[in-house]
C-alpha cells in the first residue's frame, strides 16, 4: 500500500515538474516581450513629446531609413513647421501595444486643439506603427509604403493587426463628432 502511494505521487509530480520547468524556461521570453512593449511605449511617448514641443529635427531621426530616403530633413522640418500653427497638442493616451519581432502597433489617442481655420477641441485616434532598425524602434506611421512592406514580411502580424486609418474628432455641443469624412472630402476636392 505504501509503495502504491509513492508511485502515484511520483506520477503526479512528473507533470507538475514539467509544468514548472516550462514556466521557468518561458520567463526570459515573457520578460523580453514585456521589455519590448515597454520600450515601444516609451518611444511613442518620446515622439509625441518631440512633436508637441516642435523638436522636428529630432523627430526626423526617429523615422525609418526608407522614410528618410524619401524626404530630406529640411523638407520634413519645414512641412511640420508650416502645419504647427494649425493645431496644439496637449496630451496622449497610449492603449494596447503589440510587438512581433521587428514590428509593433500601438493604439493612441492624441488630444489637443485646432487653431485654424476654426478653434475647436480635437482628438486623433490613430494606430502607430514602429519598426526596429539597427536595434532602435522607429516610427513608420506616416509612411504607408514602409508599413505595408513590413506587414507583407510579417503576414501573421498583418492578419491580426490590419492598418486602421486615423480618425479625427472635434468636440461639438459636448460630444465628439467624427470629421474624418469631411477632411477626406476636402482633400479630394482641394
Q: Tens digit of pLDDT for each residue in 91-116?
A: 999 999 999 888 899 999 999 988 76
Residue 68 grid cell: 528618410
Q: Residue 165 and residue 187: Cα distance in Å, rounded? A: 15
Q: Residue 161 and residue 147: Cα distance in Å, rounded? A: 12
Predicted confidence at residue 66, as pLDDT, reads: 84
Mind listing the pLDDT tens digit for each residue in 51-95? 999 999 999 999 988 888 888 999 989 988 888 777 888 999 999
Predicted confidence at residue 185, as pLDDT, reads: 80
Mind listing the pLDDT tens digit for each residue in 137-189? 998 876 677 777 777 877 887 777 777 788 889 999 999 999 888 878 877 87
Mind listing the pLDDT tens digit for each residue in 1-17? 443 444 444 444 455 44
Nearest to 157, CA basis, from 94, 96, 103, 97: 103
Predicted confidence at residue 5, as pLDDT, reads: 40
The single-letter DSSP state of residue 115 is -
Q: Residue 143 and residue 128: Cα distance in Å, rounded? A: 11
Amino acid at each position: 500500500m505504501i509503495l502504491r502511494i509513492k508511485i502515484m505521487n511520483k506520477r503526479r509530480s512528473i507533470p507538475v515538474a514539467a509544468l514548472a520547468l516550462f514556466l521557468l524556461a518561458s520567463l526570459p521570453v515573457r520578460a523580453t516581450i514585456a521589455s519590448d512593449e515597454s520600450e515601444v511605449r516609451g518611444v511613442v511617448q518620446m515622439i509625441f513629446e518631440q512633436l508637441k514641443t516642435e523638436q522636428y529635427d529630432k523627430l526626423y531621426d526617429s523615422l525609418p531609413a526608407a522614410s528618410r530616403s524619401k524626404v530630406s530633413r529640411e523638407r520634413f522640418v519645414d512641412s511640420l513647421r508650416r502645419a504647427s500653427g494649425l493645431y496644439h497638442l496637449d496630451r496622449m493616451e497610449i492603449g494596447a501595444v503589440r510587438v512581433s519581432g521587428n514590428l509593433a502597433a500601438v493604439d493612441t489617442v492624441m488630444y489637443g486643439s485646432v487653431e485654424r481655420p476654426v478653434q475647436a477641441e480635437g482628438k486623433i485616434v490613430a494606430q502607430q506603427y514602429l519598426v526596429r532598425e539597427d536595434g532602435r524602434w522607429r516610427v513608420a506611421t506616416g509612411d504607408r509604403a514602409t508599413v505595408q512592406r513590413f506587414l507583407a514580411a510579417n503576414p501573421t502580424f498583418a492578419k491580426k493587426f490590419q492598418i486602421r486609418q486615423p480618425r479625427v474628432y472635434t468636440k461639438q455641443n459636448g460630444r465628439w463628432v467624427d470629421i474624418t469624412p469631411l477632411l477626406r472630402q476636402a482633400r479630394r476636392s482641394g
